[in-house]
Structure 1
Amino acid sequence: MSAPPATAPAWSDAGPYDAALRAGRGPLFLRRPDGWLLPLEVERWCARADAVDRDVLDRCEGAVLDVGCGPGRLVAELAARGRTALGIDVSGAAVEHSVRLGGRALRRSVFAPLPGEGRWDTVLLMDGNIGIGGDPCALLQRVAELLRPGGLLIAETAPADVDERLDVHITDARTASGTPFPWARLGTRALLRHARDWERAGQWTAGGRRFAALRSRSSRTTSSSAEPPKRTAVISSQRVRNTPGGRPVADR
């Protein structure tokens, strides 16, 4: 499955984005053609997982796929806990930073073929990544393909009650990178409206950030909570495969 036109190339070829990740600081923004700027929290992304992040990770089940992992603070924290986790990002700088922190990451679009499809227990869409591709319904459908039946999606939503589609550039406020690409901003209410084929598994606010948990529908019995007991495993490389039983693990 290929990425929506221009979305992955725009991020992967974004000089200001890669430069900010390598420096560990902004300023960095998404900019609309009318000049509107959305600040991107580069310093927080490049730091270690904070208390709000760790609370999200406490809610994760089993093997975790972090979509749009950025510089890898979440996959690094999961790896430190001995959890099976993989990050994907279209930015080479993001993947490099993830590996330096101790996480596992691949340079890949969520819409491209991925290891362990249909076997992941949890998918994360943090830091506004519900906006990837500018089509939340298409992204939710793709996430459902990646999860096991009854698997868990945890998404960070916009702090405001918004539901909008944008054409944006990545910019450091001096230069913009490439052609505009589609993005979306969704508050929790908007996400729940789009997630008609999902079961609600919780929503919460912490540290000024908002989150929603959704469970893919399944005929098997699953918990409705986003806080189940967690299974652990250790991975030792960036390559991930399926076991005969279907669990995504790493090649050794």
Structure 2
Amino acid sequence: MSTTVPPWATADSYEAALHAGRGPLFLRRADGWLLPLEVERWCARADAVDQDVLDRCEGAVLDVGCGPGRLVAELAGRGRTALGIDVSGAAVEHTVRLGGRALRRSVFDPLPREGRWGTVLLMDGNIGIGGDPSALLNRVAGLLRPRGLLLAETAPQDVDERVRVRITDAGSAAGAPFPWARLGTPALLRYARGWEPAGQWSAGGRRFLALRTRTTSSSAEPAKRAAVISSQRARKPSGDSPVADR
């Protein structure tokens, strides 16, 4: 089924930043507030804080919104089974160049190993994907094996915000708006009904939360949830290359 690529995924400013490995790049709310995006860190190798997160991973790892692929590449270098998914073609290409495996897909599209992933990563603010944390958590539960692990990076502030934002750089007009969410750890815990808290920690000015599924996972996604996040689905390119295990 053909789906719509989110407007930011093909924005010139976003793809240019990934290719250059640097910003400036921001998410901008309607009121003009700017959230800086850490492009330089995303395009670098996994740092000590990232390494600590990856040390906690169990089984096969799915990195949702993998961006330029530093985490997938690090896991591959460790000999771990790992796959990155991202709706940006530039991000997927960068991940593959680093030696990782990646597909251009949304988390809400059909994915390999549904219900069998040991760990799902939602790093770098990716708990905000789709602007509906409950829908995203429901989908992730369906991707994980029973008692599977979600490792999520949360906002450093105690915030619970669901907004529409645009992606912009310092020298061009902002792109089309899309839904996004920002959650601190307390807010994510409130949304995580049916999940078992498995730890929370801070490092390098960043905050993280581990959640574990309590019951047998299901890959079924309620239709009403699919409708909510339809704007965040990614069109699958011909051949779904590069190909991961199915």
For structure 1, list consecutive stretches of 5 or more residues without a partner in the other structure. Answer: 221-236, 243-252
Contact 1:169/1:176, CA 8 A, preserved across alignment: no
Contact 2:168/2:175, CA 8 A, preserved across alignment: no
Which of 91, 110, 114 is the matching residue for 1:117? 114
One-letter amino acid of the counterpart of residue 57, structure 2: C
The Cα offsets for residues 117-170 of structure 1, whole Å up to 9 and x where unpaired, read as 111000000000000000000000000011111100000000000000111000
The Cα offsets for residues 147-197 of structure 1, whole Å up to 9 and x where unpaired, read as 111100000000000000111000002224532100000000000000011
Give the deviation of 1:29 after TM superposition: 0.2
Moved over 3 A (4+): none
Aligned partner of 1:247 in structure 2 is none
Aligned partner of 1:241 in structure 2 is 245
Which of 168, 175, 182 is the matching residue for 2:172? 175
Larger % of helix: which? 2
Relative to structure 1, the CA distance from residue 45 to residue 51 in structure 2 (aligned partners, 3 Å threshold; closer, same or farther) is: same
Aligned partner of 1:57 in structure 2 is 54
% identity of equivalent residues:
80
Which of 144, 147, 156 is the matching residue for 2:144? 147
Q: Distance in 1 between matches of 2:92 and 2:136?
A: 21
Contact 1:2/1:111, CA 8 A, preserved across alignment: no
Corresponding position: 1:87 with 2:87: no
One-letter amino acid of the counterpart of residue 22, structure 2: R
Q: Distance in 2 between matches of 1:63 and 1:239?
A: 16
Aligned partner of 1:71 in structure 2 is 68
Contact 1:116/1:240, CA 8 A, preserved across alignment: no
SS at match of 1:166: strand
Relative to structure 1, the CA distance from residue 176 to residue 89 in structure 2 (aligned partners, 3 Å threshold; closer, same or farther) is: farther
Q: Distance in 1 between matches of 2:102 and 2:203?
A: 27
Q: Distance in 1 between matches of 2:114 and 2:243?
A: 14
Give the deviation of 1:15 after TM superposition: 1.3
Q: Distance in 1 between matches of 2:162 and 2:45?
A: 30
Which of 18, 22, 34 is the matching residue for 1:21? 18
For structure 2, list consecutive stretches of 5 or more residues without a partner in the other structure. Answer: 218-240
Contact 1:2/1:112, CA 8 A, preserved across alignment: no
The Cα offsets for residues 29-64 of structure 1, whole Å up to 9 and x where unpaired, read as 000111110000000000000000000000000100
Cα RMSD for the two superposed structures: 1.8
Q: Distance in 1 between matches of 2:147 and 2:174?
A: 39
Q: Distance in 1 between matches of 2:107 and 2:193?
A: 21
Q: Distance in 2 between matches of 1:217 and 1:99?
A: 34
Give the deviation of 1:2 after TM superposition: 8.5
Q: Distance in 1 between matches of 2:198 and 2:173?
A: 39
Q: Distance in 2 between matches of 1:54 and 1:180?
A: 33
Contact 2:8/2:166, CA 8 A, preserved across alignment: no
Q: Distance in 1 between matches of 2:151 and 2:38?
A: 19
Contact 2:163/2:181, CA 8 A, preserved across alignment: yes
Contact 1:137/1:195, CA 8 A, preserved across alignment: yes
One-letter amino acid of the counterpart of residue 45, structure 1: W
Contact 1:99/1:105, CA 8 A, preserved across alignment: yes
Corresponding position: 1:184 with 2:181: yes
Contact 1:88/1:106, CA 8 A, preserved across alignment: yes
